Amino acid sequence: MSAALCWVHVGDLHLEAADGWQSLDRLRAIVAEVNAHVGASADFVFLPGDNANHGEPEQYARMIDTLRPLTRPWRIIPGDHDFEPGDLDAYEAAVPEANRPETEVIGGYRCLYLDVVSAGAGGPDFRLTQHDRRRIAEELARAEAAGQVPAVFMHAYPGDLTADVDEIASGFAQGGVAFVDTGHTHYNELLNDGRVLYGATRSTGQIEEDGGRPGYAIVCLHGRVASWRFRRIGEAWPHVQIVAPSDIRLVTRPADAAQVPRPDAVTILATVMGSDDVPMLAVDGRGIGPMVRDAEGLWRRAVSAIEAGVHRVEVTCAGQRDAIDVLVRGADAIPKRWPPVAPGRECHAIGAWLEAGIEGTQLGPNKNGCGW
């Protein structure tokens, strides 16, 4: 399988004339940054729904026109605002089928794109059709049979569904889903329910957190190890992101040495976007030295003599950095696992993580923000 799957998440656009088409300028800036700096490091760009604030043809036409210069593939799903007319006719007429697949396989990853709006009654009445419920089970079974890692793309968390929350979220856990990527919240957030990671990237329009500054998330899967970072538009490049092993906040398989390594030889992997400079590795403040680019384009370095415990791992390149906290488990230690509780619900939010771009204030229509 491919070493990694990486995508750029552009949060809910909420395109409309009432705010002077504000999100179009932001989308145009994101497209320019992806073209100039990210390039082939990302497999695709993802738009998670609430693309057109009122589901109107002109709103989609302007979105499509702004996406036209993008040099990477893009994928899109609907949100409740796209369903505001009571159907998805305008959405489906405007968006080419190639950009809204139900499923696709990229390398060793099976990506499932779900519609959680058109089975409901509009607004935040999120439901899955019987077709999608059957499709989830079938595609996860196919992924297991083929040795693929599943990733799911949907507008909201399973916990926001009006029905079948436990069935859907438990199915994700049992089916080995590594990451579920969502929009809807308007704020940056990560959930870890102990089996599956869920990510929500703040909206591109109608932003309430971080002083209203727009940006986008870069999400990577390396096998079943997930990494997530938010970038504000206009931040300095390059972008540095450690992709393996797991940060301790994002561990879902504690017995998996790819997520929680064992002592002695620990291999650190990172991606650098927007620079060919060689990144440098440090562990617990101790400089280890330069990393080496592998055949997949990732940077790696093995570190010996690391003892059991939590260690600070930092990668720097051309003045930019990323850092994670890595748990190294003793060679004979056996992790404890409890049955999952409330899978796919926001009670599992990891809270503030400023280095990743998560404030933890939940300023948005779901929680502590405006009604929109």
Domain check: are 259 and 308 in the same one?
yes
**pLDDT confidence bin for 135, thresholds 50/70/90:** very high
For residue 49, the number of C-alpha atoms closer than 13 Å in the C-beta half-sphere is 30
Domain check: are 230 and 291 in the same one?
no
Please report, for the domain that includes residue 162, its CATH number.
Answer: 3.60.21.10
3-state secondary structure (DSSP) of residue 28: helix
Give the total number of structural domains in the chain: 2
Residues 338, 135: Cα–Cα separation, whole Å: 29
Domain check: are 301 and 261 in the same one?
yes
pLDDT tens digits, 27-59:
999 999 999 999 999 999 999 999 999 999 999
Structure tokens at 306: 């690391």
Domain extent at residue 110: 5-237+340-356
Residue 171 phi/psi, 5-degree rounding, is: -60, -40
Within-domain flag for 138? yes
For residue 185, the number of C-alpha atoms closer than 13 Å in the C-beta half-sphere is 29
Rounded to the nearest angstrom, the gap between the alpha carbon of residue 255 and the centroid of all alpha carbons in its chain is: 23
pLDDT tens digits, 177-224:
999 999 999 999 999 999 999 999 999 999 999 999 999 999 999 999
CA angle 199, 151, 237 (to 5 degrees): 55
Residues 135, 128: Cα–Cα separation, whole Å: 10
- In one letter, which amino acid is 172? F
Domain check: are 278 and 218 in the same one?
no
